[in-house]
Chain A
């Protein structure tokens, strides 16, 4: 990640999570989306068999790939957090999961919109759709775990482990559902000479790049919001420490100890004897 939340936070309280990097990225994404619309809706030809409904693919395929990418990022972030215990990875994992839920839901939705004209039904229980549906629920479970109130370190570790449990399951789910059902068309992108028309292929590739950009943009912003939230909590800690100590000194029956180096300060006094690193 090339982002540096410190520069965004600066010296004063930041008013937003934007930065030169995200502004450029955002503009590129908008341009990309416009181009994608042009290529997808206008310039590329309708499919021989599926006619115009194939155009949903230009949205569906990239969104699906990004959804799986988001999940991979969450899983990777969970592993990294457990290894390095750095807040960065925890926030990344959480942010990616939220975006991933969105993209997974979008994948299912566009899949259904495509399925209706093509197969006649909104849903079929083939391997890919089933795995994607399960992925959505796994994501939601992960987010539910993140939402349980608690100390940030506790939440982070718990969520990371829950994320790993789910992540390990994905290949098993995939393998077992594939073995069980096979209806979805075989992979068309990954083969060496793609069977689809050049312009359609280009539109697909463009779509993937554009949505990758959108994902990145959302990720950076969501990450920064989470980071700033945690900063606010940390600031509250110093205040809380001061108030806690003041509690003790406010009582009339407890004289200060001559051996204690941390004499209680009156409640309105600002300087607090720091007790080393907060974390």
Chain B
């Protein structure tokens, strides 16, 4: 299973490297969203600073939707879903591999966005450790849940609208937890932030396990 996961993750990352969709499209989109928030929320009134954590994670969620949609559209193209089933790859391995690849891309985006909010919103960064841990835990959860819904929606004509409808409600706890943790990290009071981080980790664990079990059956349905 892990061998297959590494194979699939390698393939996805290599594909991303060659096609540069994340660098050329998703990253600029994410930065654009940060800028749009500034238009909408009037930078002079201090709202941006107070809301930085929330705006950051909402942007990450939007970027995640794009990244996941992309990760599964490459599998839907040209009958690749059939090919994955025929391939001899362990479905659990495919799940882990795809989720891992999406997670790597998202983490890179998150670092970029962090730089973005430091520059654009004057964010003060105190608890780097908490920030990093939150990013890792939240991203793992998003990647796992997103990959589950991604394969469910892959190949459907309504994929673009279905994936957000399905993923965003389920990812609500991630948004809540990650935002609270980031708020703590920005303000320097890291006490509760770590507890939220643990919640995020539990979320990620639950959905990774679920994904390992459910990805196979979901892949079968065409």
- A145 x B203 contact (CB < 8 A): no
- B176 x A165 contact (CB < 8 A): no
Q: Which residues does chain B contribute within 8 Å of A154, judged by CB atoms?
A: 221-222
Residue on A nearest B214 in the bound complex, by CB? A161
Q: Which residues does chain B contribute within 8 Å of A134, judged by CB atoms?
A: 169, 172
- B166 x A169 contact (CB < 8 A): no
CB neighbors of A among B26-65 (8 A): none
| Binding site secondary structure of chain A | helix
Q: A162-B166, A166-B170, A168-B206 are in contact. Are A157 and B177 (CB under 8 A)?
A: no
Q: Interface residue tally of chain A, by bracket?
A: 20 to 34
Of B145, B180, B218, which one neighbours A180 at CB under 8 angstroms?
B180
Q: Across the A-B interface, how many residue pairs have beta carbons closer than 8 Å? A: 71
Q: Which residues does chain B contribute within 8 Å of A173, judged by CB atoms?
A: 172-173
The proximity string for B residues 192-222 relative to A, scoring 1 for CB distances below 8 Å and 0 otherwise, is 0000000100110011001000100110011
Shortest CB distance B13–A (Å): 26
Q: Which residues does chain A contribute within 8 Å of B217, judged by CB atoms?
A: 157, 161
| Binding site secondary structure of chain B | helix
Shortest CB distance A260–B (Å): 29
Is B148 positioned at the interface, with any CB of A under 8 Å from its CB? yes
Complex Cα spacing A161 to B169, Å: 16
Shortest CB distance A180–B (Å): 6
Of B156, B168, B206, B218, which one neighbours A148 at CB under 8 angstroms?
B156
Is B99 positioned at the interface, with any CB of A under 8 Å from its CB? no
- A165 x B210 contact (CB < 8 A): yes
Complex Cα spacing A235 to B169, Å: 39
Is A137 positioned at the interface, with any CB of B under 8 Å from its CB? yes
- B165 x A158 contact (CB < 8 A): no
Is A25 positioned at the interface, with any CB of B under 8 Å from its CB? no
- A137 x B210 contact (CB < 8 A): no
Is B103 positioned at the interface, with any CB of A under 8 Å from its CB? no
- A158 x B218 contact (CB < 8 A): yes
- A176 x B152 contact (CB < 8 A): no
Please, could you name 10 A-B residue pairs with CB atoms under 8 Å apart, sorted by A? A138-B169, A141-B169, A158-B221, A161-B152, A161-B217, A162-B166, A169-B172, A176-B199, A177-B176, A180-B176
- Chain B positions near chain A (C-beta within 8 angstroms): 145, 148-149, 152, 156, 158, 162, 165-166, 168-170, 172-173, 176-177, 180, 199, 202-203, 206-207, 210, 214, 217-218, 221-222
Known contacts A141-B166, A141-B169, A165-B207; can you find 12 more A-B pairs with CB under 8 A?
Answer: A134-B172, A137-B169, A158-B152, A162-B152, A164-B210, A165-B145, A165-B210, A168-B207, A169-B172, A172-B199, A176-B173, A176-B176
